[in-house]
Amino acid sequence: LSRLDSNIRRLEAQRACLNLVAERLRHLQGPVIELGLGNGRTYDHLRELLPDREIFVFDRQVGAHPDCVPDSEHLLLGEIRDTLPGLLERMPGKAALAHSDLGTADAVVNGVLAAWLAEALPPLLLEGAWVVSDRSLRSASLRAQPLPPGITPDRYFIYRHELK
Ligand code: SAM
């Protein structure tokens, strides 16, 4: 598989997972957390899918298309280990959905960040909230969910936050 094919499949998986979860969380009120603004493609898709939700977006810096930059109340810039833990004070309540696409080309960095995120994310989520992630997240309260039809396992991940 060329890098182009692999990237296209990753983005198709990301879109399919977000579309599926957007349907499933219709009855769960709460804001959305978007980890990794990048050039803003996924943020733009999320605000189209979930137009009535507040979306809180994280990145080290703004590198997005000007049309896809959140307002300052919803954009948290800096290292995520510093910015994510304070989010509860800013959100109107716990989140119904978190999407994480923080991956870099460095597998070691990605693994360390995913391990940290698996601990840091659950306290920000409602019971029954959904998590869509580019990396596997190992946490006792994040239960793996089936992927949309046609999506290869491990290309993207869906979890539900369940405390019991
Ligand atoms: N989903 C985005 C889009 O549609 O354009 C792409 C996200 S890109 C793959 C990953 C982003 O995560 C980069 O913009 C990078 O700056 C950010 N990022 C990675 N690690 C981070 C960290 N530890 N703290 C803050 N931002 C981070």
Tell me the CA–centroid distance for residue 88 and ligand 1, in Å: 21
Q: What is the pLDDT of residue 104?
A: 85
Q: Which is the closest atom of ligand 1 to the Cα of 61?
A: 16
- Residue 49: strand, helix, or coil: helix
Q: Best of 58, 59, 75, 108 to mutate for ligand 1, by most ligand atoms within 8 A of CB?
A: 59
Q: Which is the closest atom of ligand 1 to the Cα of 63?
A: 14
* Residue of 18, 38, 24 lying closest to 98 (CA atoms): 18
Tell me, rounded to whole angstroms, the distance of Cα 9 from its chain centroid.
Answer: 17
Tell me the CA–centroid distance for residue 25 and ligand 1, in Å: 24
Tokens of 93: 């309540």
Tell me the CA–centroid distance for residue 60 and ligand 1, in Å: 7
All residues at 6 or more sequence positions from 39 whose CB lies less than 8 Å from its CB, including other chains: 63, 64, 65, 68
Looking at ligand 1, which residue's alpha carbon is closest to its atom 1? 42
Q: Rounded to 5 degrees, what angle do the CA atoms 78, 84, 86 make?
A: 105
Q: What are phi and psi of 76, to 5 degrees?
A: -115, 110
Residue whose pair of structure tokens reads 């936050």 in the numeric block? 161
Q: What is the pLDDT of residue 23?
A: 96
Element at 113 (helix H, strand E): helix 107-120
Q: What is the pLDDT of residue 103?
A: 86
Does the pTM surpass 0.95? The reply is: yes
CA of 8: how far to CAs of 5, 34, 125, in Å? 5, 20, 29
Q: What is the pLDDT of residue 98?
A: 98
Q: What is the pLDDT of residue 67?
A: 95
CB 63 within 8 Å of CB 38: yes
**Average pLDDT by consecutive 10-residue portion of the chain (164 residues)?**
94 98 95 98 98 98 96 98 96 97 91 97 98 97 97 96 91
Residue 125 bridge partners (DSSP): 95
- Residue 129: strand, helix, or coil: strand
